[in-house]
Structure 1
Amino acid sequence: MEPKAHHVIIGLFTVIAFAAVLIFALWLDKSSSDREWAYFEIGFDQAVSGLSKGNPVMYSGVQIGDVLELNLVPENPSHVRVLVRVDDQVPIRENTRAGLVLANITGSMSVQFSGGSPDSPVLEGNRENPPLIQADPSPFSNLLANGQELLHKADTLFTNANRLFSEQNSENLEKILANTRSATDALLASKEQLVTLLAQMDAAARRAEEAAIRVSRVSDNANSLITNEGSTVLQAMEKSLETIQATTSRIDRLTRDNEGAMQSGLQGMGDLAPALRELRSTLRNLNQFTHRLQQDPAGILWGGDTIKELSP
């Protein structure tokens, strides 16, 4: 009799638990049917992957309703209209924003309301003419779209990498590396010679620099000499030339004025004519030297041609 009593007790407990669950479900359905709802239409300009009928509608992380319908816009199938219902006691205002958020790790999405200032008018939502709220771009949807594009680019990259590292290119790369190693070994073997060559080049550069400094000093000295002493020599020679020219002019004038007397007096002085020719030749050579000195004083003072005397 005792085992039979246990079975009766277990059966009775099962019936009571089932009746309680049924009563609770009826009560929950009744409370839901008695609940007042406001209806809104959310406009999405991108894909709503992961969102389906019955998914929760959240406001600042708290569930306030659920999704009723998802429809494509006939004029533009890339846009989606989602009909949602929310608790009528929750105010949805004109500046309230809507978007998609990740509901769980399985990829299910929820509609999320946020924002809405108290001074903004409240939207009146009904089933026959629900207000349209344009959704903000979903960061998660953008991430998925960008992830697909990124995967496509990665696949293209791997394909190109496989082409790059083909058998023929691998052989060419091995040859290039072998040649590079041979060149490196040759350089290492000639290390001492390279060091000596670099030292010689460095010494030659120092000597060239020293020679340039010396040439610069000689040039400065020559320039100073030409500027200072050469100017003094030119001035002295110019004065001497002016004196000689004045003397020659006086001699010519004296000769013209006393030509008759000189002809009679010079008959016995046969050496005067050669002396005058020598004097004229000397004056001509001195005049040429002065002209050349004015044109190229450095060349005359530092190794130029010397004045050659003309034989009478």
Structure 2
Amino acid sequence: MEPKAHHIIIGLFTLLAFAAALLFALWLAKSSADRNWSFYQIGFNHPVSGLSKGNPVLYSGVQVGDVVDLHLDPRDPSHVRVLIRVDQDIPIRENTRAGLVLANITGSMSIQFTGGTLDSPILEGSMEDPPLIMARRSAFDNLMANGQDLLQQADALLTNANRMFSQQNTDNLSSILTTTREAVEALMAQRAEFSQLLTRLDTAGQRAAEASVKVAQVSDTVNTLLTNDGQAALASLEQTLTTIQATAARIDRLTRENEGAMDSGLQGMGELAPALRELRSTLRNLNQFTRRLGEDPTRTIWGGETIKELSQ
């Protein structure tokens, strides 16, 4: 009897739970039927993958309605028209924006309203004549629309990466790294010489700095000389040039005044030219006589032949 009583209790509990669930569903249906709805038509000029009947309609993240129907625009099948219903107490204005948002990780989409200022008129929507609200493409829509292109570019990138890391390129890279390591090791082996070279360069730089200082000092000295003593030298040179000009003027005047006397003197000097030639010839002969007299005075004076010694 005891097991049978347990089954009766379990059965009664099941019936009561089912009745409560049914009553709750009827209450929800009645509550939904008693609500007043405003109907709007959302126009999409791009695909609406993931959107279906019954999906929620949100306003700033809060559910205010759901999707009633979806169909293609008969005039342009690339456009989609979505009929939605929104609680009549929610004001949908003319500047309210609509778009798609991701509902969950399964890819289901929802329609979301944003914006709408108080000074904008309210859109009154009915089932027979729902106003059209054009949806704006969001960043997520662009990502979904360009997903195929992104995948193709990613595939091309991976293909190029595989080509770049081919066996030949890997061997070339290994060879470059080996050569670089050998060069670095060679440089490290000669670091002492590089240190000495740097020291010499530093010393040369110091000497160049000292030389530049000396050049600057010499330049200052020359500038001082040109400024002070140079002025006096220029004044003296100017006086000298003045004196030379005066002397040249006097010589020119004397030349013009004594032109006749100078011509006579030049004529006399022309007559002295033969006498000077004879005197030069006499002096040359006298020079030869003196030289012979020094070399062989006997022969020169007496005119005889000199006695030559005979070899035995």
TM-score surpassing 0.5?
yes
Report what 2:196 is aligned to: 196
Q: For the structure 1 residues 193 and 229, does the alpha-carbon distance in structure 2 shift closer, same or farther, using more than 3 Å as the test?
A: farther
Deviation at 1:28, TM superposition (A): 3.6
Q: Which residue of structure 2 lines up, in the alignment, with residue 18 of structure 1? A: 18
Which of 245, 266, 272 aligns to 1:242? It is 245
Q: Name the residue aligned to 1:167.
A: 167
Partner of 2:286: none
Determine whether 1:221 maps to 2:218: no
Amino acid in the other structure paired with 1:82? V
Q: Deviations over 1:161-192 (max 9, x none)?
A: 22111111111111111111222122222222
Secondary structure in structure 2 of the residue aligned to 1:71: strand
Pair 1:227–1:95, CA change in 2 (3 A): same
Structure 1: which 5+ runs fail to align? 275-312
Paired residue secondary structure (2:128) = coil
C-alpha displacement of 1:227: 4.5
Give CA-to-partner distance per residue, 1:18-42, whole Å, 9 cap, x none. Answer: 3443344344434434443322111
Matches within 5 A, 1:47-86: 47-86=47-86
1:121-147, Cα deviation, whole Å (9 max, x unpaired): 332322232111122333433344466
- Structure 2 unmatched ranges of 5 or more: 274-312
Deviation readout 1:183-222 (Å, 9 max, x if unpaired): 2122222222223333334444554555566567379739
From the superposition, tell whether residues 188 and 62 of structure 1 become closer, same or farther in structure 2 (CA, over 3 Å).
closer
Secondary structure of the structure 1 residue equivalent to 2:178: helix
Q: Where does residue 128 of structure 1 map in the other structure?
A: 128
Give the secondary-structure state (helix, strand or coil) at the position aligned to 1:58.
strand
2:72 match: secondary structure: strand
Secondary structure in structure 1 of the residue aligned to 2:49? coil
Residue in 2 aligned with 1:308? none
Greater CA deviation, 182-191 or 31-40? 31-40
Larger Rg: 2
Secondary structure of the 1:97 match is strand
Q: Give 3-state SS (helix, strand or coil) of 2:258's partner.
A: helix
**One-letter code aligned to 1:14:** T
Q: Distance in 2 between matches of 1:204 and 1:62?
A: 79
Q: State the aligned residue count.
A: 266
Deviation of the 1:51 alpha carbon: 1.6
Calculate the TM-score normalised by the size of structure 2.
Answer: 0.68
- The residue number in structure 1 matching 2:234 is 231
* Counterpart check, 1:255 vs 2:251: no
Change (3 A) 1:253 1:4: closer
Q: 1:99 to 1:245 in 2, by over 3 A?
A: closer
Query: What is the CA-CA distance between 1:152 and the residue it aligns to?
Result: 4.1
Normalising to structure 1: TM-score of the pair?
0.68
What percent identity do the matched residue pairs reach?
Answer: 54
Distance in 2 between residues matched to 1:139 and 1:250, nearest whole Å? 109
Aligned equivalents of 1:159 and 1:136: distance in 2?
36
Of residues 113-122 and 187-196 in structure 1, the stretch that sits farther from structure 2 once superposed is 113-122
Question: 2 CA distance for matches of 1:39 and 1:158?
Answer: 49
Moved more, 80-89 or 237-246: 237-246
How far apart, in 2, do the equivalents of 1:214 and 1:91 lie?
90
What amino acid does structure 1 have at the position aligned with 2:64?
I
Change (3 A) 1:45 1:229: same
Whole-angstrom CA distance in 1 between matches of 2:235 and 2:247? 19
Of residues 53-62 and 142-151 in structure 1, the stretch that sits farther from structure 2 once superposed is 142-151
Provide the rounded CA distance (Å) in 2 between the counterparts of 1:35 and 1:218: 103
In the alignment, the residues of structure 2 paired with residue 236 and residue 70 of structure 1 have an alpha-carbon distance, to the nearest angstrom, of 115
| 1:85 alignment partner, SS class | strand
